[in-house]
Amino acid sequence: MSEFLEYETQEELLEEQDSGVWLSVGDLMSGLLMFFALLFIAVSAQLVRYEEIIKTLPERIINAIENKIGDKGNLTRDEKTGDITLPNEILFDEGSFQLKPKGKTFLREFIPAFSEAVFADELIANNISMIIIEGHTSLKGSKKDNMELSFQRALAVTEYIDTINFSNQDKFRNKLLAAGRGNIDANKEFDDPKDRKVMFRFQFKREDLGQVFKNKTNN
């Protein structure tokens, strides 16, 4: 009888130990689920905040540039993207990619003010990964010639910027990229002189979820 009771007691102890182990594993899993749930909420909130910052950048850029430049040069500003458009007649003669004297004078005044506007606001400076100088042409001429001409004009502006001394010039130059769009965005119905232009466009940084997750876990 005593051996039976002893055997039963040992079985009960084993069962209690097993249940204790399962309880510990269950607590651990619950804790991990709670941790990842809280982490997901924190990361989601950070992504939402980042997206809101990106949305406000064009407006910040426009305001900063208007404060520094005003309406000089009959510039066109895109309120949604922050892009700045320079009319082609300021910089080049038709069919040419050689900067005109008044174009050089304009760039010597425009670029320092533009750079100061970009780098004066830390939020803007930190979130712009690239400043794309983009050449555009009208429908006139062949697609191949227009593509080459638009790139040569963008390159001419980029190379001339290297000759200008201004604050933050190294940071500014490191963000520059010359690109040609040819007549891709031109009016397809007629030769519109307004299509001949050089644009300063912004490419904004966008952290992916993995990078945000990494930053959050490192904190």
Q: What is the pLDDT of residues 140-178, one digit of tens each?
A: 889 999 999 999 999 999 999 999 998 888 999 999 999
Q: Is the pLDDT of residue 185 over 80?
A: yes
Tell me the mean pLDDT in the region 77-83.
79
Mean pLDDT lowest among 57-71, 120-134, 195-209: 57-71
Tell me the mean pLDDT in the region 63-88.
74
Task: Tell me the CA distances in angstroms from 214 to 43, 129, 155, one per residue in order.
Answer: 10, 20, 38
Q: Which pLDDT band holds residue 205 (cuts at 50, 70, 90)?
A: confident
- Phi-psi region at 182: left, alpha or beta (left = phi > 0; alpha = psi -120 to 50): left
Q: Which pLDDT band holds residue 96 (cuts at 50, 70, 90)?
A: very high
Q: Is the pLDDT of residue 215 over 80?
A: no
Helix axes 101-120, 143-161, angle to 10 degrees: 70
| pTM, to two decimals | 0.67
Residue 110 pLDDT: 87
How far apart, in whole angstroms, are the C-alpha atoms of residue 13 and residue 10? Answer: 5
**Which three-class secondary structure string do you get for the chain?**
CHHHHHHHHHHHHHHHHHHHHHHHHHHHHHHHHHHHHHHHHHHHHHHHHHHHHHHHHHHHHHHHHHHHHCCHHHCEECCCCCCEEEEHHHHCCCCCCCCCHHHHHHHHHHHHHHHHHHHHCHHHHHHEEEEEEEEECCCCCCHHHHHHHHHHHHHHHHHHHCCCCCCCHHHHHHCEEEEECCCCCCCCCCCCHHHCEEEEEEEECCCCHHHHHHHHHHC
Q: Which CATH class is domain 57-209?
A: alpha beta
Work out whether the CA dihedral 113, 194, 93, 199 comes out positive or negative.
Answer: positive
Please, what is the average pLDDT of the chain? 76
Q: Is the pLDDT of residue 27 over 70?
A: no
Task: Give domain limits for the chain.
Answer: 57-209
Q: Is the pLDDT of residue 3 over 80?
A: no
